[in-house]
Amino acid sequence: MSTTAAELKELHDLHQKLHEVQEKLEGGPRRIAAREQIVSKKEAELEAARAKLKQMKLSSDQKSLQLKTNEAKIDSLKAKLNEAASNREYEIITSQIEADKVANSVLEDEILASLDSIDVQAKLIEKLQQELESAVADCKRFKAEFEETIPGLKDDEAQLQAAIKDAESCIPASERAHYQRLVAAHASSALAAVEENACSECYTMLEANTIVELNVGKIRFCRSCGRLLYRV
Ligand SMILES: [Zn+2]
């Protein structure tokens, strides 16, 4: 490996390390946002489940009230039976009482079923509450852990940026602007190692004279993808 190649490899390594650090710095807020989204989703689920429970209780209460009203009606019909003026009237009242009893029996079944559903819904709410609590805790823990790493990552970033500046001195001034454009476009993959006489970024085979030039420490770019090449 020529001196230039070793220096370029070092520069490439530094760029890759900087990329890793920056990924961590940028990835943290993204991953926090994803966790916050889970929390919001759980909150919405819980709110919807609570609204549904409220509606279920209301409907059950209405049925119970209806049952009581019907029972009162049956009582008053029974009282009327004693005052019936004719057999015909007696039969009409009796059949009304029967019809109301049937209606009440249906209502009773419905009330029992709704109480079961209310129980199931209450359990679901409990489960959702636990899930929400654990999502909130997970989000909080992740946030705290990430925030703790920020100062260290920022230090690493600054150190790597300074080291990259130093390492860039191996690139002749005439090629510096070209190199900077590559970094702006491709960041850590602005440079590419030559592996088995091919560019490791785009796998294009290099011409023999390019290999020779690289061997003597010249700065060469891949003719296909434009990366700054170095031989390892
Ligand atoms: Zn290439």
Is this structure's pTM higher than 0.75? Answer: no
State the pLDDT at residue 1.
Answer: 60
How many angstroms is it from 16 CA to the middle of ligand 1? 17
CB 225 within 8 A of CB 199: yes
- The two tokens of residue 215 are 């061997």
State the pLDDT at residue 3.
Answer: 73
Q: Which of 135, 110, 172, 144 is nearest to 36 (CA)?
A: 135
Per-residue pLDDT of 208-217, as tens digits, reads 999 999 999 8
Assign domain 26-169 one CATH number from 3.10.105.10, 3.90.105.10, 1.10.287.1490, 3.90.1010.20.
1.10.287.1490
User: Residues lining ligand 1 (ion), CB within 5 A?
Assistant: 199, 201-202, 222, 224-225, 227
Q: Which of 193, 200, 190, 201 is nearest to 232 (CA)?
A: 193
Question: What does the DSSP 8-state code read for residue 2?
Answer: -
Neighbours of 180 (CB within 10 A): 13
How many angstroms is it from 219 CA to the middle of ligand 1? 14
If you average pLDDT over every residue of the chain, what do you get? Answer: 95
Per-residue pLDDT of 187-227, as tens digits, reads 999 999 999 999 999 999 999 999 999 999 899 999 999 99
Q: Is the pLDDT of residue 4 over 90?
A: no
How many angstroms is it from 12 CA to the middle of ligand 1? 15
* Helix (H) / strand (E) containing 154: helix 87-167
How many angstroms is it from 191 CA to the middle of ligand 1? 9
- The two tokens of residue 35 are 């966790």
How many angstroms is it from 214 CA to the middle of ligand 1? 14
How many angstroms is it from 26 CA to the middle of ligand 1? 28
- The two tokens of residue 202 are 């785009």
State residue 230 phi and psi, 5-degree precision: -150, 145
How many angstroms is it from 5 CA to the middle of ligand 1? 16
Q: Which of 46, 48, 7, 52 is nearest to 164 (CA)?
A: 7
Domain boundaries along the sequence of the chain: 26-169, 171-232
How many angstroms is it from 193 CA to the middle of ligand 1? 9
How many angstroms is it from 229 CA to the middle of ligand 1? 8
Per-residue pLDDT of 46-99, as tens digits, reads 999 999 999 999 999 999 999 999 999 999 999 999 888 899 999 999 999 999
Per-residue pLDDT of 101-152, as tens digits, reads 999 999 999 999 999 999 999 999 999 999 999 999 999 999 999 999 999 9
CB 183 within 8 A of CB 220: no
How many angstroms is it from 225 CA to the middle of ligand 1? 4
How many angstroms is it from 183 CA to the middle of ligand 1? 14
How many angstroms is it from 213 CA to the middle of ligand 1? 16
